[in-house]
Amino acid sequence: LSLLNVISHQELVSCVGWTTAEELYSCSDDHQIVKWNLLTSETSQIVKLPDDIYPIDIHWFPKSLGIKKQTQAESFVLTSSDGKFHLISKLGRVEKSVEAHCGAVLAGRWNYEGTALVTVGEDGQVKVWSKTGMLRSTLAQQGIPVYSVAWGPDSEKVLYTAGKQLIIKPLQPNAKVLQWKAHNGIILKVDWNSVNDLILSAGEDCKYKVWDSYGRLLYNSQPHEHPITSVAWAPDGELFAVGSFHTLRLCDKTGWSYALEKPNTGSIFNIAWSIDGTQIAGACGNGHVVFAHVVEQHWEWKNFQVTLTKRRTMQVRNVLNDAVDLLEFRDRVIKASLNYAHLVVSTSLQCYVFSTKNWNTPLIFDLKEGTVSLILQAERHFLLVDGGGIYLHSYEGRFISSPKFPGMRTDILNAQTVSLSNDTVAIKDKADEKIIYLFETSTGKPLGDGKLLSHKNEISEIGLDQKGLTNDRKIAFIDKNRDLYITSVKRFGKEEQIIKLGTMVHTLAWCDTCNILCGLQDTRFTVWYYPNTAYVDKDILPKTLYERDASEYSKNPHIVSFVGNQVTVRRADGSLVHISISPYPAILHEYVSSSKWEDAVRLCRFVKEQSMWACLAAMAVANRDMITAEIAYAAIGEIDKVRYISSIKELPSKESKMAHILMFSGNIQEAEIVLLQAGLVYQAIQININLYNWERALELAVKYKTHVDTVLAYRQKFLETFGKQETNKRYLQYAEGLQIDWEKIKAKIEMEITKERDRSSSGQSGKNMGLKH
């Protein structure tokens, strides 16, 4: 905290607003608007308002307007006690004053695009104005003053107070209005964050609360000694600040407190965050303006712990040998990320990349925009998000690509809605939350044939797996019903299924060293040792899980990281809990990826756990290693599958084997295609007969003009067994006047099998001849 020695205002300060990260405007009941320069610690009066104007709220016109980037805000709206709002330029010239309410105008807020302004007043009215100050609509009228207002993330809804109630009203007429009782006293302040979509409220009942946008309570604070007079979200939605009498708090988005300060300020009536989210300013009742910096953030990875000790200094501690390094930066640190043996730090002008092997020589490159809001890392590269776009860089500092899609808003992306792996970037859209955009990292172009991944419900969190081949890349996501799904990222031609892995999942994380997925389900912590099982053999998926009780983590815990076999969970009270999972599944993944099947079997025999055998069974089938699959299925007692596999091994040709392996995983169409391409028409017909796909079997027989009598014979036998009559028109048409001779059919089938056997053996002997030659 810092309180400058100079008191620039004689009366209470009612509101503050940042223009840049180093410049602030404050307004006071002494009618002055004062500019603060934090670099030089100087203050200067911008304008003295007429004596009948008492300022109440200030909001700068938003900067990022799509393509036209302004380097700083040029004008602001000031609401005052005389029932007007004033549009004032940066230099203090009052461009326009508009009669808005009867009694004081208690708050005024620009929407995110800067296309509309909402004002609320003592007369209980909520009004929406155009950019130039023309009245567009009166959104609401009520009999009690509206003390505070906030726009929804998409600027389509407005949140405002009504005594002890909160009301969310959409701008569209006839749309549903959401209203709920939020406090036991009058609500004084609200804020709604565009990144996490959460709502803050503060009341005269001395409490502050966090809500989701459906009005569900997520956090309820203990009562304080005095009414809470201000709350404000940090721009990235990770932190918020709370102000009261002689009190300033810094809290996590889930509600628990990082810090409590007791500055000598009187009541803090208004809190503003700087654009980069590193500092706050508070408007104090005793004429001061209090400034505060966020420090002491921690980042951990394996044996390294990094702490931001001052605005421009980091301390790195290696817990193995207690070595401490100090990292000094030219400008203040805005964001940082530590993962995959690299620390990436963005300051206001540059990006630094440190390797954990060498802290002395970082790689440094300049940033375009400055205010980085998100850093994500993968093994080979990292991603930066700022107001202008998404940028991928290698750890050598080389720019790789910048994925884009129409209508992309980078200011609302966070770690839940963007995911990065070595070859893919996934981004959840905000305009249509059922869609995930997929991009190649190397080019920034849409993946595959550009098909989007779309789901039937809104998606809330996404995660890409980190290891393995690009073709096998999977994405896991949680939707609004809290169901966990997995699907393949590759969107070529054939639509990949989206398969459900679990229900009531609140948070997920992929392991960084192998494709193991973990999540918190209701009261259980679950690990999917081999999520791909869902595509190979769904029946044994439950056997590949590890579950343990998680009721100790209280409600709404969150998985912070999954490194090696260590999972870190943050509980609702802010404490970190570390969970160790078995190291063996990771070793199994390692063996299988390098095709060491014998080692894999030996490992499973040593560990003697059903989940390991089940994973090995699925991995073996996925990699078409039937010998290992047979051993693994036998170990988990799946006798029917063992018998089926041994019957596959006796098939004469490799195409037939391949087809039956595909059928084993339920890919019937693919199996049929394999057989038809190899010219094994009879075998393709036979698998359809075995699966009672009668329509398809007859279709193939007619198309290839062969074995129509075979299909009819099997159909007749099937109907006789069940004592039914033929009703299918196509079968009746072909059966007309056809005598079924089983002897003849059996001979034909024998001939087909012999032909296949000869084909495969001649192919084999041809190979052998080639070898001899």
Among 248, 254, 245, 190, which residue's Cα sits nearest to residue 217? 254
Residue 65 pLDDT class (50, 70, 90 cuts): very low
- For residue 407, the model assigns a pLDDT of 84
Mean pLDDT in residue range 474-492: 90
- For residue 773, the model assigns a pLDDT of 39
Which helix (H) or strand (E) covers residue 565, if one does?
none
Crossing angle between the packed helical segments 708-721 and 681-690, to the nearest 10 degrees = 10
Q: Are 182 and 190 in contact (CB under 8 A)?
A: no
pTM value?
0.89
- For residue 730, the model assigns a pLDDT of 86
- For residue 729, the model assigns a pLDDT of 86
Residue 72 pLDDT class (50, 70, 90 cuts): low
Q: What are phi and psi of 518, to 5 degrees?
A: -125, 155
Rounded to the nearest angstrom, the gap between the alpha carbon of residue 598 and the centroid of all alpha carbons in its chain is 39
Using CA atoms, how far apart are residues 267 and 243, in angstroms rounded to an integer? 7
Distances (CA, A) of 485 to 448, 459, 488, 759: 21, 10, 10, 43
Mean pLDDT in residue range 560-589: 93
Using CA atoms, how far apart are residues 78 and 89, in angstroms rounded to an integer? 10
Using CA atoms, how far apart are residues 312 and 328, in angstroms rounded to an integer? 6
Q: Concatenate the DSSP letters of all residues of 640-685 into one string.
A: HHHHHHHHHHT-SSHHHHHHHHHHHTT-HHHHHHHHHHTT-HHHHH
Using CA atoms, how far apart are residues 387 and 371, in angstroms rounded to an integer? 7
Residue 437 pLDDT class (50, 70, 90 cuts): very high
- For residue 493, the model assigns a pLDDT of 55
Among 571, 602, 561, which residue's Cα sits nearest to residue 584? 602
User: Tokens in use for 541?
Assistant: 């998926």
Using CA atoms, how far apart are residues 528 and 486, in angstroms rounded to an integer? 11
DSSP 54: -
Using CA atoms, how far apart are residues 542 and 494, in angstroms rounded to an integer? 27
Mean pLDDT in residue range 535-539: 90
Q: Concatenate the DSSP letters of all residues of 208-232 into one string.
A: EEEE-TTS-EEEEPPP-SS---EEE
Q: Are 731 and 698 in contact (CB under 8 A)?
A: yes
Using CA atoms, how far apart are residues 397 and 376, in angstroms rounded to an integer? 15
Using CA atoms, how far apart are residues 210 and 233, in angstroms rounded to an integer? 11
- For residue 741, the model assigns a pLDDT of 83
Q: What are phi and psi of 713, to 5 degrees?
A: -65, -45
Which helix (H) or strand (E) covers residue 701, if one does?
helix 694-703
| Number of Cα atoms under 13 Å in the Cβ half of residue 301 | 16
The 3-state DSSP class for residue 240 equals: strand
Using CA atoms, how far apart are residues 670 and 773, in angstroms rounded to an integer? 36
Comparing 460-464, 637-641, 668-672, 734-738, which segment has the lowest mean pLDDT?
A: 734-738
User: Tokens in use for 582?
Assistant: 């078995």
Which helix (H) or strand (E) covers residue 453, if one does?
strand 453-454
- 581-599 residue pLDDT tens: 999 999 999 999 999 999 9
- Greatest alpha-carbon pair distance for the chain in Å reads 112
Q: Are 47 and 59 in contact (CB under 8 A)?
A: no
- Which residues face 426 on adjacent strands? 419, 438
Residue 506: CB atoms within 10 Å: 20
- 237-254 residue pLDDT tens: 999 999 999 999 999 999
CA torsion through residues 739, 740, 741, 746, sign: positive
The 3-state DSSP class for residue 173 equals: coil
Burial class (CB in 10 A: 0-12, 13-18, 19+), 606: exposed
Range among 198-212, 450-464, 758-772 with highest mean pLDDT value: 198-212
Residue 677: CB atoms within 10 Å: 10
CA angle at residue 508 from 412 to 526, to 5 degrees?
A: 165
Q: Are 497 and 487 in contact (CB under 8 A)?
A: yes
Place of tokens 């409600």: 555
How do 358-366 and 372-377 pair as beta strands?
Answer: unpaired
Q: Are 389 and 401 in contact (CB under 8 A)?
A: no
Average pLDDT, the chain: 91
- For residue 71, the model assigns a pLDDT of 47
- For residue 66, the model assigns a pLDDT of 43
Using CA atoms, how far apart are residues 494 and 127, in angstroms rounded to an integer? 51
- Which residues face 98 on adjacent strands? 85
Strand ranges of the sheet holding 453-454, from the earlier edge strand across to the other edge: 418-420, 424-428, 435-440, 453-454
Comparing 12-21, 378-387, 490-499, which segment has the lowest mean pLDDT?
A: 490-499
Using CA atoms, how far apart are residues 629 and 643, in angstroms rounded to an integer? 11
Is pLDDT of 43 > 70? yes
Strand ranges of the sheet holding 23-28, from the earlier edge strand across to the other edge: 13-20, 23-28, 32-37, 42-48
DSSP 379: S
- 92-136 residue pLDDT tens: 999 999 999 999 999 999 998 889 999 999 999 999 999 999 999
How do 505-510 and 499-502 pair as beta strands?
Answer: unpaired
Using CA atoms, how far apart are residues 678 and 691, in angstroms rounded to an integer? 21
Using CA atoms, how far apart are residues 338 and 315, in angstroms rounded to an integer? 13
Q: Are 526 and 188 in contact (CB under 8 A)?
A: no
Mean pLDDT in residue range 31-57: 92
CA torsion through residues 95, 100, 103, 106, sign: negative
Mean pLDDT in residue range 397-403: 94
Query: For the chain, what percentages of helix, strand and coil (3-state, to nearest 5) are there?
Result: 20, 40, 40
Using CA atoms, how far apart are residues 685 and 469, in angstroms rounded to an integer? 34
Using CA atoms, how far apart are residues 734 and 708, in angstroms rounded to an integer? 8
- Which residues face 190 on adjacent strands? 201
